[in-house]
Structure 1
Amino acid sequence: MSSAAVCKQFAVPAVVRATVVPPLRFMAPALLGLAHTSIREEQIMRSWIYSLRQQALMLVLSVSSVVAFAQSTTAPATHTLQMSITLSAESPVVAFAQSTTAPATRTLRMSITLSAESPQGKAAYDFAKRVSQYTDGRIRVDVYPEGKLGDDASMLKEVRAGTVDFMCPEGSIIGSVAKEFSAISYPFTFLSEAEADAVLDGQWGTGLFSKLPSQGLVGLAFWENGFRHLTNSRRPISSSADFAGLKLRVMQNPMLVQSFNRLGFQAEPMPFSRVYDALKNQTVDGQENPLPTILTSRFHEVQKHLTLSRHAYSALVLVASSKSWDSLSPRDREAIQRSASESKAYQRSLNRELNAKALAELKAKGMLVSELPREDADRIRYRLRDVFDKYNAEIGVKTMVDLYVELGRLRTTSR
């Protein structure tokens, strides 16, 4: 339909039609940055005329000139009409123009330690995909796996400073700035994944997240690393007595360093990105990690012995930089939080599926498997009582009491 036909359909007086349509042909592209096509002209005209009829679009014409022109029986050779248009923010023309302008995309960076093929890596890309979807493309998350931007300790500084936007480290890394997170990895605290889910997704986990804003972080979700197990290149471990003298890589967390030293290991805190080479070069004898991490990091290539110890549960903590978070609109924050929660379920599912398969694959790849007797758990906790007392005081007695009360409630309910 032509512009003239649209005007005729909406009963626009001929004098207005003759005066308004020609200028609008030239004005619309300038206002909207659109190519001059008949379809878009019709859309603009429909919006403009409807707005005119509803008094949302203000059109001021030189009334005296219009009246003189309309009443004149003899049209002058040349007659100029003045036209002024004011567009409100709610104008259909403005809305149409905005709808045709692609939103600017903001790129945020996410650092992870493990490979793109690990459950952590796959979930990070899933998170990025969901963020793009739920923000309608306004935000793009670029994922950097395998510590390409730096190790967890350095990335924690970058995220707090706002130069990196997201990371998902093991909880003990966050424990270096918010000590309450170290409680997650206390030896032999959680008995199952279900217990860990209930505690971390409940009030106790929410309480941990409340400690982060003062440290320049925003907690989004607890993902799963899983129950940790021991590997080494020297000998099988069949009891806690076999710990003595083994040089063991541990995470960069003072509580863990002291705990493993107290158990007889020679603890070596080290960034995860250096572990494979340290094992290969025998700088350390062993390490401790969940089965999926042992498999996807190819530790079986440089370690002969695997001990199923389940000595600690390990959570991954998806956090955002407070500086980045505060710069986002409320709807984009909501979209990111939704993405984090949905990716949490996906990541945990992947991790547990791989955990069930990893042991068989590690055996098939030549690892010799032993198991730490469950009665050793009480012996280990007893030997660590001084370390626990020290860190209970630093973490906060209330935090630890609340944790054990919640675990007691869950275990009583499940009986």
Structure 2
Amino acid sequence: MKLTRRILAAATLAALATAPLASLAQDIKPRLIRFGYGLNEQSNQGRAVKVFADAVAKASGGKMKVRAIGAAALGPDTQMQQALIGGAQEMMVGSTATLVGITKEMALWDTPFLVSSGQEADALLDGPVGQKVIARLPEKGLVGLVYWENGFRNLTNSKHPVAKLEDLNGIKLRVMQNNVFLDSFQALGANAIPLPFSELFSALETKTVDGQENPYNTILSSKFYEVQKYLSVTNHVYSPWIVLASKKWWDTLSKDEQKVLVDAAKASRDYERKDTREEAGRALAELKAKGMQINELSPAESARMRDKLTRVNASVAANVGMDLWNETQAELAKIRTRK
């Protein structure tokens, strides 16, 4: 009887010793990160999200897993931003322009003709000015990690080429839900209509709007060439994307986990900018091959547009704050001197 009790006790102890290990193995699940974005998986945005996801998985040893959700399946940028603020979604990448209603300083990046090259944009965004703007996000419930490149924006429409300022008169032009874009194109004579990107193709197809403005890569990956005949190279705004995290969620992460995400975001930024710039040239050639009629705005007409937008620039400066505006102009002067 005593022997039987001893055998039972030993068996119980053995079971207790192994149970926590088995339970632990079952309980260890990777931290799931839902990462939303607006374009499709084959776009420059989709490729860069994959680079980010792979870097996170590798650096965390599989303990963190990014679930990439594209094609605006989680809603337009504005909806995802609110989901991040509320803690219902972990991460996203989207336009800085749709953040202006949350953080007014983001309007700085919507300034028409602010930078003249991608290299100028990189130096400005990654430097003290860009980081100062990012630093305003946490108080609004968001954490900004890095800026990606969307690229220089250009006009498309289904009516006629835009070769001069007057060609914009009366064109129903979709713009982002952003006052700077609305004011800019109204000042240029267009009938500016704010719409979420997720509704844009349908609006173009049904002629609810005549045209839109986006970088070449987005025009190609979104197949706007199927519903737009004319592409006018205006380079009127350099448009960045920004990788965001929910502050509610971010604050639950360890310092090591945060570092994994920051490092992965920087790696994805470097990849994305290179990829986007290489693709832009190919995209323009492909859009032409697909039948789009392409014209380039002359320097004289660009200057006319800039002159028309003086009031808009003054409004941006007042909105973001004169200190930030003046610091931006001074930083750009330094960047141009270093060339």
Q: Does the alignment reach a TM-score above 0.5?
A: yes
Q: What is the identity, as a one-letter code, of the residue corresponding to 1:370?
A: N
| Alpha-carbon shift at residue 334 of structure 1 (Å) | 0.7
Q: SS in structure 1 opposite 2:54?
A: helix
Give 1:243's aligned residue. 168
Structure 1 position 26, deviation (Å): 6.5
The answer for unaligned runs of 5 or more in structure 2 is: 1-7
Per-residue Cα deviation, 1:2-50 (whole angstroms, up to 9, x for no partner) = xxxxxxxxxxxxxxxxxxxx9878635522338xxxxxxxxxxxxxxxx
Q: Which amino acid aligns with 1:183?
A: L
Matched, 1:32 2:13: no
Question: How many Å apart are 1:103 and its aligned residue?
Answer: 2.7
- CA deviation digits over 1:321-374, x for unaligned, max 9? 000100111110111111111111111121111102011101100000101112
Secondary structure of 1:314's aligned partner: strand
TM-score (structure 2 length as normaliser): 0.93
Q: Alpha-carbon deviation of 1:258?
A: 1.0
Cα RMSD after superposing both structures: 2.1
Structure 1-normalised TM-score? 0.77
Aligned pairs for 1:2-151 (under 5 A) are 27-33=13-19, 103-151=28-76
Q: SS of the counterpart of 1:317?
A: strand
Alpha-carbon offset, residue 386 of structure 1 = 1.9
Within the alignment, does 1:390 sit opposite 2:323 as a pair?
no
1:274 correspondence with 2:199: yes
Structure 1 residue corresponding to 2:259, chosen from 334, 359, 367: 334
Assess, with a 3 A threshold, how the Cα gap between structure 1 residues 101 and 302 changes in structure 2: closer, same or farther: closer
- In structure 2, relative to structure 1, the CA distance for the partners of 1:144 and 1:99 (3 Å cut) is closer
Query: Identity across aligned pairs (percent)?
Result: 38
Name the CA distance, whole Å, in 1 between partners of 2:10 and 2:127: 60
8 Å Cα contact 1:118-1:296 kept in structure 2: yes
Q: Secondary structure at the match of 2:299?
A: coil
Q: Is the 8 A contact 2:234 2:302 kept in 1?
A: no
- Other-structure match for 1:203: 128
The alpha carbon displacement at 1:131 in A equals 1.5
The code of the aligned residue for 2:231 comes to L
Structure 2 counterpart of 1:384, one-letter code: L
Structure showing greater Rg: 1
Cα drift, residue 311 of structure 1: 0.6
Gaps of 5+ in 1: 1-21, 35-95
Residues matched between the structures, number: 334
Following superposition, the deviation at residue 100 of structure 1 comes to 6.5
Query: More relative contact order in 1 or in 2 (CA 8 Å, sep 6+)?
Result: 2
Over 4 Å off, 4+ runs = 22-26, 96-102
Matches within 5 A, 1:395-410: 395-410=320-335
Task: Please tell me whether residue 380 in structure 1 is matched to residue 305 in structure 2.
Answer: yes
The equivalent of 2:278 in structure 1 is 353
Aligned with 1:295 (options 197, 204, 220)? 220
Paired with 2:278 and 2:312, the residues of 1 have a C-alpha distance of: 34
